[in-house]
Structure 1
């Protein structure tokens, strides 16, 4: 085990795992449950970390840490994200079209495998 400082409270502690002390982790678990319950009860609200922290009366840093830990997903949008999504869709479309047209055919029927092509 190594001694590191907690990312939230900056107190040293021994760990082999996360960089958050057990006391802060317990607090984060409580914040997570509170935030999850709020989002479940209000599914139509569009929230960011700051507004969610205000709604549940918790520290923004705790919610940001939960996002960094991957406990909440970010719904990111913008021109760069939309361009990347369009490129991914076009690549997938091209791949599907090439497979259907016979290029890059990966499927071989049992008969072709066993007896060859006619």
Structure 2
């Protein structure tokens, strides 16, 4: 049983449960509905961990714990344009890769495509007895 300090309060606890002690996990579980309702009431607003902790007067470590534990998603609405641009670049790169792979297969002579040789056969040749 390894003891670790809690990331929020610093108390020692059994580390088999994760980064946070049971007391802090219970507080986070109780805090989540309040934060969720606050975000839903403020439709269209974008929050960072800092701004949310300031507006709700909550410790920033607890808000970050909500994000780390998956209770809250990271804000992607503000970066939607950047994410679309990144996705478009990835798709374009994938298309270029497919084209280059298909071009190399077409450019090779038919004999090479049909004839597969091992390293030993290429170096020492093939001997038939």
Aligned equivalent of 2:51: 51
TM-score normalized by the length of structure 2: 0.60
Rg larger for: 2
CA–CA distance in structure 2, aligned partners of residues 73 and 40 of structure 1: 13
Q: Which has the higher helix share?
A: 2
Superposed CA offset, 1:24-81 (max 9, x none)? 1111112221111111111211221122112222111111122122221212539975
Inter-CA distance 81–28: structure 2 relative to 1 (3 Å threshold): same
Aligned to 2:61: 61
Contact 1:31/1:58, CA 8 A, preserved across alignment: no
Kindly tell me the number of residue pairs found equivalent between the two proteins: 96
Give the alignment's Cα RMSD to 1 decimal. Answer: 2.9
The TM-score normalised by the length of structure 1 is: 0.64
Q: Is the Cα contact below 8 Å between 2:7 and 2:19 reproduced in 1?
A: yes
Point out where structure 2 has 5 or more consecutive residues left out of the alignment.
100-129
Structure 1, gaps ≥5 residues long: 99-118
After TM superposition, give the deviation of residue 14 of structure 1 in Å.
1.9
